[in-house]
Amino acid sequence: MITIGVFGAGQLGRMLTLAGIPLGLRFRFYDPVPNSPAGQLAPQVVAAYDDSPALERFASEVDVITYEFENVPVDAARFVEKFVPVFPPPLALEKAQDRLVEKSFFSDLGIPTPRFTASGFNGFDVPAVLKTRRMGYDGKGQFIVRNMDELSFAMTQLRGQDLIVEELVPFEREISIVGVRGVDGAVAFYPLTINTHHEGILHRSVVPVQVHPLQGLAESHARKVMEALGYVGVLAIEFFELDGQLLVNEMAPRVHNSGHWTIEGALTSQFENHVRAMARFPLGSTNPIGAGAMVNLIGQIPPVQDILKIEGVHLHLYGKSPRPGRKLGHVTVVAGTDDLLMGKVEKIESLVCRD
Amino acid sequence: MITIGVFGAGQLGRMLTLAGIPLGLRFRFYDPVPNSPAGQLAPQVVAAYDDSPALERFASEVDVITYEFENVPVDAARFVEKFVPVFPPPLALEKAQDRLVEKSFFSDLGIPTPRFTASGFNGFDVPAVLKTRRMGYDGKGQFIVRNMDELSFAMTQLRGQDLIVEELVPFEREISIVGVRGVDGAVAFYPLTINTHHEGILHRSVVPVQVHPLQGLAESHARKVMEALGYVGVLAIEFFELDGQLLVNEMAPRVHNSGHWTIEGALTSQFENHVRAMARFPLGSTNPIGAGAMVNLIGQIPPVQDILKIEGVHLHLYGKSPRPGRKLGHVTVVAGTDDLLMGKVEKIESLVCRD
């Protein structure tokens, strides 16, 4: 019986558990916040990430440790690595946690990024984007700067933090690739997902029937990243698409919101593939079943009756109480054609209140 | 937050939980056997079915009570019905628990059954089948009788129990229908499943791409049963197919092993549809995604690595320790054609040891 330890007990941990239980896997979670979504399904240790005795005890109770969010302190990951294998490697956390380190890492691998600098606005045109180097997510910790007033406002808001300036890319759309790598070096990639954001938060992901012309390029970028990191598990990379080019925005060393459509939309979900990699099982097929889509439920949950009335949709709630801007669940749908898919997506979206 | 109480905490309860959690439902189980498969995922009350205070307390903690096996004592179901809705109605348990009552019930509804009698072998040709009226499952409590010696052996084995004699039907195959009915009377049926048994235990269920010519007839039989019982939830009925006719063998007032293929093989699984009915949510589409199949893992589990190596299969383990004849898990697969499907089924079966 393999027990997987997970740092973080949010909805991603919950969905890892739902995918892993049928494979005979057990789970234990570690999260400073009690009664988290995954803790409703499996034992959760409530302790801080710098509590060495708690970390050591946790490590002694599991066969492998992974994470379900990328801001787990690297020190905690490195500490438990003394006792059990930790996948993805803590190096991946380190690269993902600092936008400057992350973009430099991509750049060094020859993967195109938007222009960036940590040396202020010298030589940078406006509009540009000012971001914190650390702890940014869901559009938090970043400001578009078009003039001196906006710069001054942003600097006040972000005061005391290390910053990075990035070129504002006039991208046509944001796309992401989700892939998985096994301990044996085997890799598999899901089809590219087209993402739409609303107020900085992912609102919807769509995977059309037709393979995206940049699929091969995105896979080759992702493969480079995985190999450079000795990666094991699911990795997501977000790109801006511009003039047939891909510019990397950021990566997440974990299962990713833009991969939730795979639960019903692919032969093996991202969650199952991540736990397969953790358990050293063979990876599962990433083939899509049809066109697939996912719509996030943010801030509030429409009446469940109304969602379930739409034929063929799948509801995934996270067991969280409503709060503005909070991801509370998502709805997925699979269809044989893009038109059928988008018809369903529109029905779902008509129920979703944007707060 | 709706909490569903379930009598029985076996694998069916476990799979109900895995289907219901994403819909925001909670579960509580009641089972005299501790540490049961569903109890690994949700709170389990360990108490006897005649423990009235425990039953009353259980009823007070849930919004609806259902069962995951059909031999729950009818008295327990009727007792808790004083406090909360109980679906399917206890009447369905009553009919399903006694083969004589069950066959008479079908007969009265005009649904053909094999000839049967509770008055001994008078007027019955051999071979015939001698069965206990109660508590039979997985081929237990029944004997084929071809001559006086076999009759005498069977009578000794079944001594002290109420018996029923049934015609031995030279059926071509056993097929089953799984359907669901909502509190509002809405019904939906999955495609007919072709079942293969081994030593009395279901070994495999297959749903070909082509709709079975007797689909409509089976649905009309099932609809009659549901309406007669005021049924709510998933119902399974097993038939013998003979010369283009259907003879009903038995029914199960619960989710059923021959419906496990629906987890990945249909738009909404039997487990999700049962909990939707319990929660008074709209029923989900029962449309199949392609040809589907399920192979049971009985007695022992082949190496998980070998199972997961087969592309596109889905493994479902129940968290039970191996024992001869015990259902430990199942494997499902979906394919675009029957040939592709059966190719996968053969690969799965080559790993399955029949003990």
Query: End of a domain among B167, B201, B231?
Result: B167
User: How deeply is B203 buried, as exposed, middle or buried, from its count of CB atoms within 10 A (0-12, 13-18, 19+)?
Assistant: middle
Find chain B residues with C-beta within 8 A of A24's C-beta: 301, 304, 315, 317, 319, 329
CB-based contact, A186 to chain B, within 8 Å: no
Please check whether residue B55 is in contact with residue B72, taking contact to mean a CB–CB distance below 8 angstroms. no
Classify A319 as helix, strand or coil: coil
E runs forming strands in A159-232 = 163-167, 173-181, 187-189, 193-198, 201-207
- What CA–CA distance (Å, rounded) separates B194 from B15? 22
Answer yes or no: do A121 and A267 share one domain: no
Please check whether residue B319 is in contact with residue B37, taking contact to mean a CB–CB distance below 8 angstroms. yes
Q: Express each pLDDT in B293-315 by its tens digit.
A: 999 999 999 999 999 999 999 99
> Exposure pattern of A19-33 as b/e (b: 16+ CB <10 Å)?
bbbbbbbbbbbbbee
Answer yes or no: do B200 and B341 share one domain: yes
In this structure, is the dihedral angle defined by the CA atoms of residues B13, B205, A18 and B269, taken in order, positive or negative? negative
Answer yes or no: do B141 and B199 share one domain: no
Q: Express each pLDDT in B253-288 by its tens digit.
A: 999 999 999 999 999 999 999 999 999 999 999 999
Tokens at B248, concatenated? 């009903």
Provide the CATH number for the domain around residue B17. Answer: 3.40.50.20
CB-based contact, A303 to chain B, within 8 Å: no
Answer yes or no: do B20 and B40 share one domain: yes
pLDDT band at A139; cut points 50, 70, 90: low
Answer yes or no: do A177 and A287 share one domain: yes
Q: In what order do the strands lie in the sheet with B163-167?
A: B116-117, B163-167, B128-132, B142-145
B320, amino acid identity: K
Interface size between A and B, measured as CB pairs under 8 A: 73
Please check whether residue B18 is in contact with residue A18, taking contact to mean a CB–CB distance below 8 angstroms. yes
Does residue A92 sit within a domain? no
Query: End of a domain among B86, B104, B129?
Result: B86
Domain ranges, residue B131: 115-167
- What CA–CA distance (Å, rounded) separates A303 from A326? 17
What pLDDT score was predicted for residue A140? 75
Q: Residue A117 pairs with which residues in a beta bridge?
A: A165
Q: Give A146's contacts (C-beta < 8 A, 6+ positions apart).
A: A126, A127
Residue A206 has pLDDT above 90, yes or no: yes
Residue of higher predicted confidence among B125 and A189: A189
**Percent of chain A whose pLDDT exceeds 90:** 79
Does residue A104 sit within a domain? no
A186, amino acid identity: A
What pLDDT score was predicted for residue A329? 98
What pLDDT score was predicted for residue A29? 98
The closest of A237, A275, A240 to A96, measured between CA atoms, is A237
What pLDDT score was predicted for residue B199? 81
pLDDT band at A88; cut points 50, 70, 90: very high
Per the structure, the count of domains in chain B is: 3
Find chain A residues with C-beta within 8 A of B304's C-beta: 23-24, 281
Answer yes or no: do A183 and A247 share one domain: yes
Residue B137 has pLDDT above 70, yes or no: no
CB-based contact, B319 to chain A, within 8 Å: yes
Does residue A128 sit within a domain? yes
Does residue A242 sit within a domain? yes
Provide the CATH number for the domain around residue B139. Answer: 3.30.1490.20
For residue A307, the chain B residue with the least C-alpha distance is B282
Find chain B residues with C-beta within 8 A of A22's C-beta: 18, 314-317
Classify A77 as helix, strand or coil: helix
B113, amino acid identity: T
Question: Of B308, B311, B319, which has the smallest distance from its Cβ to A281's Cβ?
Answer: B308
Find chain A residues with C-beta within 8 A of B14's C-beta: 21
- What CA–CA distance (Å, rounded) separates A255 from A155? 32
Lowest mean pLDDT among A18-27, A111-120, B325-334: A111-120
Q: Express each pLDDT in B168-181 by its tens digit.
A: 888 889 999 999 99
What pLDDT score was predicted for residue B138? 66
CA distance A3 to chain B (A): 13
Answer yes or no: do B157 and B238 share one domain: no
- What CA–CA distance (Å, rounded) separates B1 from B14? 19
Tokens at B141, concatenated? 């409590």
What pLDDT score was predicted for residue A132? 87
CA distance B304 to chain A (A): 8
Q: Which helix (H) or strand (E) holds A120?
A: none
What pLDDT score was predicted for residue B354? 54
Classify B181 as helix, strand or coil: strand
Question: Of B23, B41, B304, which has the smallest distance from its Cβ to A304's Cβ?
Answer: B23
Does residue A11 sit within a domain? yes
Whole-Å CA distances, A352 to B25, B146, B293: 20, 66, 36
Mean pLDDT for chain A overall: 93
Does residue B232 sit within a domain? yes
CB-based contact, A287 to chain B, within 8 Å: yes
E runs forming strands in A184-263 = 187-189, 193-198, 201-207, 233-242, 245-252
Q: Residue A316 pairs with which residues in a beta bridge?
A: A330
Best interface-test mutation with A: which of B1, B15, B294, B308 has the largest number of A CBs within 10 A? B308
What pLDDT score was predicted for residue B126? 76
Residue A79 has pLDDT above 90, yes or no: yes
E runs forming strands in chain B = 3-7, 26-30, 44-45, 64-67, 116-117, 128-132, 142-145, 163-167, 173-181, 187-189, 193-198, 201-207, 233-242, 245-252, 291-298, 314-317, 327-335
For residue A276, the chain B residue with the least C-alpha distance is B308
Answer yes or no: do B162 and B186 share one domain: no
Query: End of a domain among A132, A167, A202?
Result: A167
Q: What is the mean pLDDT of residues B120-125?
A: 73
Find chain B residues with C-beta within 8 A of A23's C-beta: 304, 308, 315, 317
Answer yes or no: do B76 and B178 share one domain: no
Q: Residue A242 pairs with which residues in a beta bridge?
A: A245
Contacting B residues, span 20-79, partner chain A, CB-CB under 8 Å:
21-24, 40-41
Question: Of B276, B314, B315, which has the smallest distance from its Cβ to A308's Cβ?
Answer: B276
Does residue B342 sit within a domain? yes
Q: Residue B41 pairs with which residues in a beta bridge?
A: none
Q: What is the mean pLDDT of residues A152-165?
A: 82
Answer yes or no: do B156 and B235 share one domain: no
Q: Which helix (H) or strand (E) holds A26?
A: strand A26-30
Residue of higher predicted confidence among A119 and A325: A325
What pLDDT score was predicted for residue B355? 46
Please check whether residue B171 is in contact with residue B312, taking contact to mean a CB–CB distance below 8 angstroms. no
What pLDDT score was predicted for residue B198? 87
pLDDT band at A119; cut points 50, 70, 90: confident
Mean pLDDT for chain B overall: 93
Give the angle subtended at the CA of A235 by the CAs of A328 and A14, to the nearest 5°.
35
Q: What is the mean pLDDT of residues A36-45?
A: 94
Long-range pairs for A210-219: beta carbons < 8 A, 24 or more residues apart: A210/A338, A212/A175, A213/A244, A214/A175, A214/A241, A214/A244, A214/A246, A215/A189, A215/A191, A217/A246, A218/A175, A218/A177, A218/A189, A218/A192, A218/A246, A219/A177, A219/A179, A219/A189
B88, amino acid identity: P
What pLDDT score was predicted for residue A355? 46
Does residue B98 sit within a domain? no
Query: What would the DSSP string read from start to end of B78-91?
Result: HHHTTTS-BSS-HH
Lowest mean pLDDT among B5-9, B15-19, B321-325: B321-325
Answer yes or no: do B188 and B323 share one domain: yes
**For chain A, what is the total number of helices (H) and then of strands (E)?**
11, 17
Long-range pairs for A121-129: beta carbons < 8 A, 24 or more residues apart: A121/A151, A121/A165, A124/A165, A124/A167, A125/A167, A126/A151, A127/A168, A128/A165, A128/A166, A128/A167, A128/A168, A129/A165, A129/A166, A129/A167, A129/A168
Residue A157 has pLDDT above 90, yes or no: no
Provide the CATH number for the domain around residue B293. Answer: 3.30.470.20
Please check whether residue B56 is in contact with residue B32, taking contact to mean a CB–CB distance below 8 angstroms. no
Please check whether residue A318 is in contact with residue A329, taking contact to mean a CB–CB distance below 8 angstroms. yes
CB-based contact, B186 to chain A, within 8 Å: no
Question: Considering the entire predicted model, what is its pTM?
Answer: 0.94
pLDDT band at A353; cut points 50, 70, 90: low
Question: Of A23, A305, A317, which has the smallest distance from its Cβ to B317's Cβ?
Answer: A23
Answer yes or no: do A148 and A186 share one domain: no
- What CA–CA distance (Å, rounded) separates B132 from B140? 9
